[in-house]
């Protein structure tokens, strides 16, 4: 069987010299300039209901010669990105808005392609060679990669750090695959806990990491302090930097947590079942904003692609599947279960349920059903047995993934 090559991105911190910083700033600026020019032209045609022009950057180079000084692939990629944005919009107007004009304050980046070895990495010297940067930029290569470089995206964060994300085409995409210990795993995402997980060995709850909670509190304080400062003052700039750093810290810490947790779950289980988070997202808007913000969607996308990499099955159940309302022991459906009922007593069998544990057990059974080739569970399902140890181990919660 021929394997399709996999693309993987590796992100590294880079340390440009003053001259390179200038070059990057110029390139970011030209990309923004070309984006806005092309977008303006397209939008005008769109408003007049004319055919939308598909210009190339070369068209602008005569009129604006400074565009010739920067990497031409960066500008070509702008054209492609913009055309894709329009295509997405016409395909699905509800999900994709029309592209917007770029501002200097937005995150700055440009993407360049590897053509005839124009991009190289010297692992010994710690240098990344990019088009128009013949001397190479210093790069912190904290991990190696094998494969062909497809493209590199250079970005600058709000707090003034530079990164290069290197896209690699690799044949041996499978990382070391561990034999799963558990056949199935059901995950209920929660507000008080990040997740409640049930697999062959029982149930446990995963807490929101404490450092995230603390980080969010600090973020709130910094936001307040920034908004109080006079715009444009030195103090305001300092406060903006502190805020940007804290934003970066939280997003890194959250990603780290989500990657480790999803990897541990994929390692341990053959089938992973989660619920549709749409309903909970609605619920969330009515409750206080919590550290789960934006974490859920990312977590599910990590589970999904890791499942693919490691040959596991990922199932997302329909939003109408009543994972919380159905008793996992007797199948009784408690229609009047309220959103804030954390525990409930089943009228069918008398069992007292922790809401989240019960939901994760139901999701776990869905996984077993699919895995054994049986019909997936629906409302009128028959009673099922319990997992071997149906205990809820709250204390051992976040130690599991270390
Ligand atoms: Zn029951």
Active-site pick, 71, 200, 268, 356? 356
Q: For 277-328, how does the pLDDT look when each residue is reduced to its tens digit (9 = 90+)?
A: 765 655 555 554 554 555 888 899 999 989 988 889 999 987 778 888 889 9
Share of the chain above pLDDT 70, in %: 85
Q: Could you confirm whether 275 is annotated as catalytic? A: yes
Can you tell me the distance from the alpha carbon of 274 to that of 364, in angstroms, rounded to the nearest whole number?
9
pLDDT of the residue at 282: 55
Backbone angles phi, psi at 331, to 5 degrees: 85, 5
Q: Report whether pLDDT(26) > 50.
A: yes
Q: For 141-169, how does the pLDDT look when each residue is reduced to its tens digit (9 = 90+)?
A: 988 888 899 999 999 988 889 999 999 98
Interval between CA 349 and ligand 1 midpoint (Å): 4
Angle, alpha carbons 279-281-284 (nearest 5°): 115
For residue 199, name the pLDDT band (cuts at 50, 70, 90): very high
pLDDT of the residue at 146: 84
Backbone angles phi, psi at 373, to 5 degrees: 80, 15
For residue 371, name the pLDDT band (cuts at 50, 70, 90): very low
- DSSP annotation of 51 reads P
pLDDT of the residue at 370: 47
Interval between CA 370 and ligand 1 midpoint (Å): 23
Predicted TM-score (pTM) of this structure? 0.66
Interval between CA 60 and ligand 1 midpoint (Å): 70
- Do 127 and 166 contact (CB within 8 A), yes or no? no
Structure tokens at 6: 């996999």
> Residue 24 to residues 240, 282, 361, 398: CA-CA distances in angstroms?
22, 41, 52, 42
Residue 147 region by backbone torsions, left for phi larger than 0, else alpha for psi between -120 and 50, else beta: left
Active-site pick, 71, 188, 200, 268? 188
């Amino acid at each position: 069987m021929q394997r399709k090559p996999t693309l993987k991105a590796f992100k590294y911190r880079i340390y440009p010299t003053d001259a390179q910083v200038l070059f990057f700033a110029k390139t970011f600026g030209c990309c923004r300039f070309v984006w806005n020019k092309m977008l303006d032209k397209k939008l005008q045609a769109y408003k007049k209901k004319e055919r939308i022009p598909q210009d190339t950057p070369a068209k602008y180079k005569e009129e604006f010669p400074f565009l010739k000084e920067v990497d031409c692939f960066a500008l070509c990629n702008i054209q492609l990105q913009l055309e894709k944005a329009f295509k997405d919009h016409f395909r699905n107007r509800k999900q994709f808005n029309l592209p917007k004009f770029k501002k200097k304050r937005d995150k700055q980046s440009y993407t360049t392609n590897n053509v005839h070895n124009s991009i190289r990495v010297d692992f010994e010297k710690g240098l990344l060679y990019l088009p128009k940067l013949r001397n190479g930029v210093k790069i912190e290569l904290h991990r190696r990669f094998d494969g062909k470089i497809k493209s590199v995206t250079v970005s600058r964060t709000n707090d003034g750090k530079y990164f290069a994300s290197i896209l690699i085409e690799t044949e041996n995409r499978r990382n070391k695959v561990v034999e799963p210990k558990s056949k199935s795993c059901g995950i209920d995402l929660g507000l008080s806990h990040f997740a409640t997980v049930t697999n062959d060995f029982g149930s446990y709850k995963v807490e929101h990491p404490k450092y995230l909670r603390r980080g969010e509190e600090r973020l709130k304080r910094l936001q307040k302090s920034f908004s109080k400062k006079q715009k444009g003052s030195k103090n305001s700039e300092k406060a903006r930097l502190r805020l940007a750093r804290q934003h970066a810290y939280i997003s890194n810490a959250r990603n780290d947590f989500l990657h480790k947790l999803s990897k541990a779950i994929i390692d341990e289980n053959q089938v992973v079942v989660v619920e549709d988070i749409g309903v909970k997202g609605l619920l969330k808007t009515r409750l206080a904003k919590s550290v789960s913000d934006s974490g859920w969607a990312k977590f599910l996308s990590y589970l999904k692609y890791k499942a693919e990499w490691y040959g596991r099955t990922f199932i997302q159940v329909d939003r109408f599947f009543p994972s919380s309302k159905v008793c996992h022991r007797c199948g009784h459906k408690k229609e009047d279960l309220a959103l804030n009922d954390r525990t409930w007593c089943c009228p069918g069998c008398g069992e007292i349920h922790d809401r989240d544990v019960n939901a994760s057990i139901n999701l776990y059974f869905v996984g077993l059903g699919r895995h054994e080739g049986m019909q997936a569970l629906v409302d009128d399902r028959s009673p099922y047995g319990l997992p071997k140890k149906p205990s809820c181990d709250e204390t051992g919660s976040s130690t599991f993934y270390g």
